[in-house]
């Protein structure tokens, strides 16, 4: 049997006939983790607590099997993020800060979620990059199936939700649902624009957009036009060497124009001016956010930092002005809704610097990268990471699972491919 050969950055290694199963199992864990709030949670409803931990354990099963398939390269040959020791130093500092500033149920809950997010990210990162490299279409196909299942079985009638509130009425973590569909869309977009034009890539992109965008838009987030817009602008700049090739310019101009026109039509058909998302364009950013609590939480975080600039007020101890949390309630807590203000207010300069030591070089590398052709295993994680970091300036907190997943995927991608998969992994696939 002919054996396809790939390189892992340390010479060529054989890719056995279980590659397809490896890709499938890793993709199930990857997309299942992103879709946990509307997919696996359905089967874990009887659990009052520990749902995230139970979901993580369930997703480790296919990942464990994938790592032990016969004919696969050994785990030692799959690059792991070099920053793992520093990340767990950061976690240790968070734990010490949380307990020394006063143990309560929310602090323990936040630490538990942070640890789970970091561990799952570490375990998924290397295998995810390799799975995309082996077969990006099969990897994306699993995500499309998961997204279609959620779209047509859970969110099967978007029109039944309030025009002003949309899917935010659903008693689930609506931002996590939105992020799943945005990340799915970004995966298809990376496939479409990262290499020469292929009709099948365009069909995959159209199908993915039809599943993802209506659901994401129906969640009615005011920040989505900005976070997704920033990400797409970043993609054009980072992929300029590919998109501006003479053979690609015309088709890319046509595609980008078509995407922009379709987006305008879709938004106008899906939402009216009563919606949260459209209010930003109707009223302007300042007036739209005038009644939002974020400016208050931002100011409170700055004040906390001023009061305790060195070590912060303590991990998990941020309080919105006027709130009176129950120390025995694991869900009774808050955060500033800004990643950097959260770190400065709760962990002070010490925790902020510990976090920045591995984070800042990676972010700089991502922002100034120039991608080559046919490198979806690098482009896709980078796009998703830019989107997540932009999102975390307006919402979410440090234990955000999507952040740690793509943070670590980007570490692996940058180590393994040096941001140029075209040269390191041989000629591009026909697809």
Per-residue pLDDT of the chain (431 residues; tens, 9 = 90+): 333 444 444 333 444 578 889 999 999 999 999 998 876 666 665 555 667 777 788 888 888 888 888 755 444 444 555 678 888 899 999 999 999 998 889 999 999 999 999 999 999 998 999 899 889 999 999 999 999 988 888 787 776 666 666 676 666 667 888 999 999 999 999 998 887 778 898 899 989 998 998 888 888 788 888 899 899 999 988 888 887 776 667 777 777 777 677 666 665 655 555 666 766 666 666 666 666 788 899 999 999 999 999 999 999 999 988 888 788 888 888 899 999 999 999 999 999 999 999 999 999 999 988 888 778 888 999 999 999 999 999 888 999 999 999 999 998 888 754 444 443 333 344 45
pLDDT at 56: 82
- Within a domain: residue 429? no
pTM of the complete model = 0.86
Instruction: Count, in order, helices (H) and strands (E) of the chain.
Output: 17, 2
Whole-number pLDDT of residue 48? 55
132 lies in a domain? yes
Q: How far is CA 42 from CA 39, 51, 150, 227, in A?
A: 6, 10, 11, 29
Cα 381 to Cα 409: distance, rounded to the nearest angstrom: 6
Q: In this structure, is residue 431 part of a structural domain?
A: no
Query: 125: exposed, middle or buried (C-beta count within 10 Å: 0-12, 13-18, 19+)?
Result: buried
Q: Give domain status of residue 430, yes or no.
A: no
Q: For residues 260 and 254, what is the distance between their CA atoms, to the nearest angstrom?
A: 10
The pLDDT of residue 424 is: 36
Q: Is residue 16 in some structural domain?
A: yes
CB atoms within 10 A of CB 349: 15
**Looking at 74-150, which runs of residues are DSSP E strands?**
none
Q: Are 387 and 183 in contact (CB under 8 A)?
A: yes
Phi, psi angles (nearest 5°) of residue 84? -55, -50
Provide the number of structural domains found in the chain.
1
Q: Examine residue 229 and state whether it is found in any structural domain, yes or no.
A: yes
Residue 406 contacts residue 122 (beta carbons within 8 Å): no
Do 379 and 238 meet the contact criterion of CB atoms below 8 Å apart? yes
Position 301 in a domain: yes
Name the DSSP class of 205.
H
Residue 318 lies in a domain: yes
Which residues constitute the domain of residue 217?
A: 4-424
Cβ count near 270 (within 10 Å): 19
């Amino acid at each position: 049997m002919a054996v396809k050969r790939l390189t892992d950055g340390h010479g060529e290694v054989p890719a056995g006939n279980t590659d397809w199963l490896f890709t499938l199992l890793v993709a199930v864990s990857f997309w299942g983790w992103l879709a946990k709030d509307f997919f696996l949670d359905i089967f874990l409803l009887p659990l009052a607590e520990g749902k995230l931990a139970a979901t993580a354990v369930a997703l480790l099963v296919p990942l464990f099997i994938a790592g032990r398939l016969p004919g696969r390269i050994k785990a030692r040959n799959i690059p792991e993020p070099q920053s793992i020791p520093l990340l767990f130093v950061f976690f240790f500092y968070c734990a010490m800060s949380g307990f020394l500033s006063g143990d309560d149920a929310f602090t323990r809950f936040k630490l538990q979620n942070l640890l789970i997010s970091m561990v799952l990210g570490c375990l998924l990162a290397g295998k995810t990059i390799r799975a995309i490299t082996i077969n990006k279409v099969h990897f994306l196909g699993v995500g499309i199936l998961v997204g279609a299942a959620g779209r047509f079985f859970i969110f099967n009638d978007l029109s039944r939700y309030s025009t002003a509130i949309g899917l935010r009425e659903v008693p689930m973590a609506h931002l996590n649902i939105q992020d799943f569909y945005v990340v799915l869309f970004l995966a298809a977009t990376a496939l479409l624009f990262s290499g020469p034009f292929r009709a099948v890539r365009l069909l995959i992109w159209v199908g993915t957009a039809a599943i993802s965008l209506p659901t994401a838009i129906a969640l009615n987030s005011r920040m989505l036009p900005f976070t997704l817009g920033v990400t797409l602008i970043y993609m054009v700049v980072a992929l300029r060497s590919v998109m501006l090739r003479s053979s690609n310019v015309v088709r890319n101009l046509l595609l980008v124009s078509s995407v922009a026109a379709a987006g305008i039509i879709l938004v106008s058909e899906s939402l009216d001016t009563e919606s949260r998302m459209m209010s930003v364009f109707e009223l302007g950013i300042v007036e739209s956010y005038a009644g939002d609590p974020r400016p208050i939480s931002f100011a409170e975080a700055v004040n906390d930092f001023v009061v305790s600039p060195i070590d912060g007020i303590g991990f998990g101890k941020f309080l919105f002005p006027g709130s009176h949390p129950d120390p025995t309630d694991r869900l009774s807590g808050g955060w500033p809704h800004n990643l950097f203000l959260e770190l400065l207010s709760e962990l002070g300069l010490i925790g902020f610097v510990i976090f920045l030591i591995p984070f800042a070089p990676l972010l700089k590398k991502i922002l100034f990268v120039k991608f080559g052709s046919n490198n979806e295993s690098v482009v896709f994680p980078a796009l998703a990471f830019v989107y997540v970091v932009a999102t975390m300036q307006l919402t979410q907190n440090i234990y955000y699972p999507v952040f740690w997943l793509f943070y670590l995927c980007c570490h692996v991608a940058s180590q393994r491919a040096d941001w140029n998969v075209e040269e390191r992994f041989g000629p591009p696939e026909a697809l």
